[in-house]
Structure 1
Amino acid sequence: MSLTAAMESSCELDLVYITERIIAVSYPSTAEEQSYSSNLREVAHMLKSKHGNNYVLFNLSERRRDVNKLHPKVLDFGWPDMHTPALEKICSICKAMDTWLNAAAHNVVVLHNKGNRGRLGVVVAAYMHYSNISASADQALDRFAMKRFYEDKVVPVGQPSQKRYIHYFSGLLSGSIKMNNKPLFLHHVIMHGIPNFESKGGCRPFLKIYQAMQPVYTSGIYNVQGDSQTGICITIEPGLLLKGDILLKCYHKKFRSPTRDVIFRVQFHTCAVHDLDVVFGKEDLDEAFRDDRFPEYGKVEFVFSYGPEKIQGMEHLENGPSVSVDYNTSDPLIRWDSYENFNIQREESAEGAWAEPPLPSKHLEKG
């Protein structure tokens, strides 16, 4: 343990045996590269001496060659920090963990993460629910340990969308959430309450919508004064067809400045959407849930339909005359995609039989 203590002090490494066979190796995003790299070698030495070649590394962060110092066999399942992975990816991770752990009694899983610990939380909580399918006394003890790790280490730093996806996964496994296979067309995104992102109040929001982490829509830039409106409606006509994992990100474009701030971010999966009117409160919105600039009573409403045609009787949603819109989406600041580096990575590391395993429940097979 003195080695572990030395490593922790050198670059804030957090090495935790969540259970006897599931280990978390986590570094903050601020860890210096040189310290982080040398640390990996020390961790690899410790793992090798204690577990031989009986462990597989699950990398939950961006792909990088030096992670292979921990083990020559690395499964890359990474996704952007502070976000949630695709629902299908959660299934794949759990299936791969289960396959490896059940292959031999001495096999060990090492979860590697550089950045916010929310990534670890998603995987640990999801696997806790996944392992609940085949209960045994030993697994019950493991689930208690996983639950304690999740509550102690992850809940304080997690994002609402991460908790939402764990809820989806648990509900789909148990059958408490039924699959929605109907097409959903998004027509309106309504912000109730105006965030205060300008010195004189108000904000200049614009939306970017992603499907499977690929951009599918960018709105114009809305100029809203804080005391002129109680809300703002961004209308998409014809309606935008959404299916699967959706990320909606609302930015504030600073006035006379080539920068932007995140107002809120929200991720959801259309398979779990059964209402044509969906409301996310402040506590449900990533980033905004702990941002004082977003009003406490604020919420974001999504209005869907089952077709692209304009929904009749929605004239009351139109913005007042004080709201102006700039449709110059060719602005590099508006067009810039912060997920491009993840989008161009080929997911080739989870090879062979683990690449696209069967979904773990009859409730998921339809999706």
Structure 2
Amino acid sequence: MANVIREAVSKEKRRYQQFGFDLDLSYITPRIIAMGFPSEKFEAAYRNPLVDVLQFFETFHKGHYKVYNFCREKPYDGESKIKGEYEYFPFDDHNAPEFRIIPQLCKDVDEYLSADPLNVIALHCKAGKGRTGLMSAAFLVYMLDALNAHEAIDFYGTARTFNKKGVTIPSQLKYINYWSASLKHKFTVGDRTVKMTKIEMIPTPKISDEIFVKVSTFTEFVCEKSLTNSRKLTFKPLKESKIKMKEEEYMKLYDEVLAELKEENPNVTTREAMCAWDWKMRSIEGDERFGTDGSAFPIDPVTLHGDIKLEFSTSKGGIFNIWFNTWFIHDNHLEFSKMELDKGFKDAKQLAPNFKVILNFEDVSTAPSLEQEIPFCQVGVRSDIPDDIVDPEKVPPIPKSIATDPDVDAPKALLAETESSENPKRVKAPVWYPIYHTSLNFKNFNRIVDHLIQYPSQREFFNINPEMEVVKETTRDPLEVARSVLYSVIQLYLRSGFYGRCFDYHIELITLDNLAGVKLFEQQASELAVVDLEKLKTGENEPFWLNVYHIMLLHGLMYWKHRPNVEFKDMMSNFKKFAYKIGGFSYTLHDVLMGCLRAPWPKDSSIDKVVTFSNEKAKYVMKEADKNLGCLLSFGTTTSPGIWLYSVEDFAQQKEIAVNTYLNRQAAALGAKKQFYLMGNMKMFAKDYGGESAMKKELLQRHGVTDHDVKKWDLKYQSEDTENRVILDHLIAQNIVVTHVPVNFLGQCSLFRYEKPTVKDPKA
């Protein structure tokens, strides 16, 4: 019963329901964990019980975890309650923090994670979503300087929640962008004092009451003023049209907006177009329902500096709140769209869809920050550069900090990061419009996907684009071709995703935003049709077909509809429809999986028929099944193994690392309970080991369990997660990485280090 209540409280947040645990907890990355409040007594009935949280960390990260608490309303003695290390960075729920604590947190986290590659951090507030997400995204931006704020926000939202809504409070989104801009443009935040002199609202809110504004800083109340001078605001009602736009008209409007944006920028992204389209729809509806007249409210000047909160209300209650930092005021005014108003962004009755607030200021004084350097993130930077990557003497030294640029205008730099696309027809969304975070308007993104991507019921590789210029002949070895083609499609995925994790919408963005790249890859992949399979040398069959399988999988995922989540049997059905020509023969993805990689394969419940080949095709398949295949083959789901690039020279070593990586990530041997957990799809591969008992024995041996003790262990299967996600993060450590902007030296980036799996036996 308690778990049912906890799931209800978690709502759309992902829960950690593996290996006997059921916690409101998510791995954002292998070293960053977000979770709900660790509770005791009555509260533990509907939130994370502290005892279970401690058992989790003592089981999987004993001696290597640090907990960060952001919950201002629920402080606790972390030094005595938490067995690991503990820090407290408090700020209020549904509010922004003091800007200064963001760099403080990032530096503290960096120092802890850099101290030991096994160290992990656990971030929590009360629900473990908004404030936790703000700080998670802030550190992701800090850790990877090639990352944009909206990417970190989207990534966190997808990793933490099912509906992709992680950080949704507008002021919290704003402060992530403050931090991102300061890092990217190398400036620190100083102290600017201003006087607020006037507030404008356009169009006038549908409110017939006196409006008040309460001004406060992070720590103290400043003042409260009546904007309407003790009078009620007057709103002139308009006659609303009852004619509503149809869906096809909305999509036609999107096509027009996209075409107009492309006149200015041929490479405009779906995200930018969606932002402008959404604002265009809001403007049409707002003008029709609320008109275009606005209201201006001059006020007695209020002196402000630092982090400021404005709370707008009437006698009936609050309307909306605004947070900002005075250092980022541009040309003595700030403009906030409706989507940037805490609480107000949901108000459909009083505020127009295109409502905006403009704050006007006068300068008083400016004091630049005394800090002349920004700390450089050390997490993941390698000091042991392998000789085979590059000459170690040419590796640049690792900086401890980066000098700030005193000439940077912080407000202008911020606008450069957040200004939306504009063209002569004024198809534009306002600065700071948070809808540009894909996850915050995922419904509209789905509408665009359904409108622009036509998913075929069957895809034959050479029949889709007969005009494509294909490779006519090749002298390269088959394995060399397979490696290069797989590398090509992996680059598409890395560019569209982030941090080596490509979720369903990243895969769709490949088609929407990088069609030229897809066509180039397909042209390169056509070389597989003309390879000479007779050139496959001894030991090359398995790495060749593994690479081919993952090429076809990554290619096929671009053409399969991902939502609602695809059931495994439907995925297998797609495998039978997707075909390549390889060495002159036609192979479906199902053929490669069940015939080339797994021959001989007897009929069983996992497939509906035995794959049989002609004698000519049968010459090139594997002669016997590799029992490790279950730990090597991705199905494009969150519970699948990562995708590796294989070669014959180090294939045995690569395979060993890949198997250990998968068993560390997706399996667990819990010594206290003598329970061994595997993912459900491993049932499919049990026969490769000679049955479940033999599979349990061999895989437990990898965890250090002796033959004598194996019989004491129970084998349990985790339920399969069918959500599409491709895992490529381990490739970053192999210097196979594509970033959005150049970084100093990719060979210094090593974010993942997996050791041999061991039994987890907590004392807790």
Deviation, 1:202, is: 2.1
The CA deviation at 1:206 is 0.7
Could you tell me whether the CA contact under 8 Å between 2:210 and 2:226 is conserved in 1? no
Indicate how the Cα distance of structure 1 residues 292 and 32 shifts in structure 2: closer, same or farther if over 3 A, else same: farther
* Aligned counterpart in structure 2 of residue 297 of structure 1, from 348, 354, 357: 354
Is the aligned partner of 1:148 residue 2:147?
no
1:251 and 2:313 correspond: yes
Q: Note the C-alpha offset of 1:98.
A: 0.4
Compared with structure 1, are the counterparts of its residues 264 and 362 closer, same or farther at alpha carbon in structure 2 (3 Å cutoff)?
farther
Equivalent in the alignment of 2:363: 306
Paired residues of 2:34 and 2:128 also in contact (CA < 8 A):
no
Shift of 1:178: 8.1
Match of 2:121 in 1: 109
The answer as to 2:299 corresponding to 1:236 is yes
Q: Give the 3-state SS of the residue equivalent to 1:183 in structure 2.
A: strand
Deviation of the 1:272 alpha carbon? 1.4
Distance in 1 separating the partners of 2:194 and 2:75: 37
Distance 2:186 2:26 in 1: 32
**SS of 1:219's equivalent?**
strand
User: Does the 8 A contact of 2:35 with 2:122 survive in 1?
Assistant: yes
Aligned residue pair count:
296
Equivalent-residue separation in structure 1 for 2:354 and 2:124 (angstroms): 38
Cα separation, 2, equivalents of 1:364 and 1:176:
6
Whole-angstrom distance in 1 between the partners of 2:155 and 2:310? 31
Are the aligned partners of 1:185 and 1:240 in contact in 2 as well (CA < 8 Å)?
A: yes
Q: Which amino acid aligns with 1:246?
A: I
1:21 to 28, 31, 35: 31
8 Å contact kept, 1:22–1:110? yes
Three-state SS of the structure 2 residue aligned to 1:77 is strand
CA deviations over 1:307-335 (Å, ceiling 9, x no partner):
49xxxxxxxxxxxxxxxxxxxxxxxxxxx
Q: 1:209 aligns with which of 190, 210, 215?
A: 215
Shift, 1:221, TM fit: 6.6
Alignment of 1:1-367 (within 5 A): 9=7, 12=10, 13-26=23-36, 33-36=43-46, 39-62=49-72, 63-65=74-76, 69-71=81-83, 73-115=85-127, 117-133=129-145, 148-151=155-158, 153=161, 155=165, 158-175=168-185, 182-196=192-206, 201-220=207-226, 222=228, 223-227=232-236, 230-237=293-300, 239-254=301-316, 260=317, 262-293=318-349, 294-307=351-364, 360=375, 362-363=403-404
CA distance in 2, matches of 1:150, 1:37: 20
Higher helix proportion: 2
Q: Which has the higher contact order (CA 8 A, sep 6+)?
A: 1
Counterpart amino acid of residue 75 in structure 2: R
Tell me the SS of whatever aligns to 2:141.
Answer: helix
Q: 1: distance between equivalents of 2:194 and 2:138?
A: 26
Aligned residues of 2:35 and 2:128 also touching (Cα < 8 A): no
- Amino acid of the residue matched to residue 236 of structure 1? I
Helix, strand or coil: the match of 2:71?
coil
- State how far apart, in whole Å, the 1-side matches of 2:128 and 2:118 are: 29
Residue type of the alignment partner of 1:297: N
- 1:145-167 CA-to-partner distances (Å, cap 9, x unmatched) read 98523345364651222221111
The answer to whether the 8 Å contact 2:199/2:357 transfers is yes
Report the Cα offset of residue 123 of structure 1: 1.0
Comparing 115-124 with 53-62, greater Cα deviation is found at 115-124
Checking the alignment, whether the CA contact within 8 Å between 1:178 and 1:272 is kept in structure 2 is: no
Which moved further from structure 2: 13-22 or 156-165? 156-165
Q: Which moved more, 1:51-60 or 1:34-43?
A: 34-43
CA RMSD in angstroms comes to 3.7
Over 3 Å counting, the alpha-carbon distance change for 1:147 and 1:362 in structure 2 is farther
Give the Cα–Cα distance (whole angstroms) in 2 for the partners of residues 162 and 86 of structure 1.
11
1:56 deviates by 0.9
Offset at residue 232 of structure 1 (A): 3.9
Matched residues in 2 for 1:59 and 1:250: separation? 29
Match of residue 311 from structure 1: none
Q: CA deviation at 1:78?
A: 1.9
Question: How far did 1:172 drift?
Answer: 0.6
Structure-2 separation of matches of 1:54 and 1:26:
20
| Structure whose alpha-carbon radius of gyration is higher | 2
* 2: CA distance, partners of 1:116 / 1:263: 26
State the 1:36 CA deviation: 5.0
Cα distance in 2 for partners of 1:45, 1:28 equals 12
TM-score (norm 2): 0.35
Runs (5+) with no aligned partner, structure 1? 255-259, 309-355
Q: CA separation in 2, counterparts of 1:175 and 1:6?
A: 47
CA change 1:70–1:364 in 2 (3 A) is farther
| CA distance 1:177–1:290, change in 2 (3 Å) | farther
Shift in alpha-carbon separation, 1:182–1:189, aligned structure 2, 3 A: same
What secondary structure does 1:185 align onto?
strand
2:68 maps to a residue whose letter is: F
Query: Structure 2 CA distance, aligned partners of 1:116 and 1:43?
Result: 13
Query: Which whole-Å CA distance do the structure 2 matches of 1:277 and 1:10 have between them?
Result: 43
Matched-pair contact (CA < 8 Å) for 2:188–2:374: no
| 1:106-131 Cα distance to aligned partner (Å, 9 max, x none) | 11101112136121221121111111
CA distance in 2, matches of 1:69, 1:81: 23
Q: Whole-Å Cα distance in 2 between the matches of residues 211 and 279 of structure 1?
A: 19
1:23–1:109 contact (8 Å) kept in structure 2: yes
Partner residue of 2:684?
none
Judge conservation of contact 1:25–1:112 (CA < 8 Å) in 2. yes
Q: For 1:48 and 1:158, how far apart are their aligned partners in 2?
A: 32
How far 1:182 moved relative to its partner? 5.0
Q: 1:144: how far off?
A: 8.3
CA drift at 1:241? 2.2
Structure-1 separation of matches of 2:210 and 2:42: 36
Q: 1:168 to 1:15 in 2, by over 3 A?
A: same
TM-score normalized with structure 1 length? 0.69
Q: Secondary structure at the match of 2:209?
A: coil
Amino acid at match of 2:345: F
Q: For the residues of structure 2 that align with 1:79 and 1:203, how far apart are their CA atoms?
A: 32
- Contact (CA 8 Å) 1:81, 1:115: kept in 2 or not? no
Q: Secondary structure at the match of 2:323?
A: strand
The residue that corresponds to 1:336 in the other structure is none
Q: Distance in 2 between matches of 1:177 and 1:202?
A: 44
Q: Distance in 1 between matches of 2:345 and 2:133?
A: 18
Query: Is the Cα contact below 8 Å between 2:133 and 2:166 reproduced in 1?
Result: no
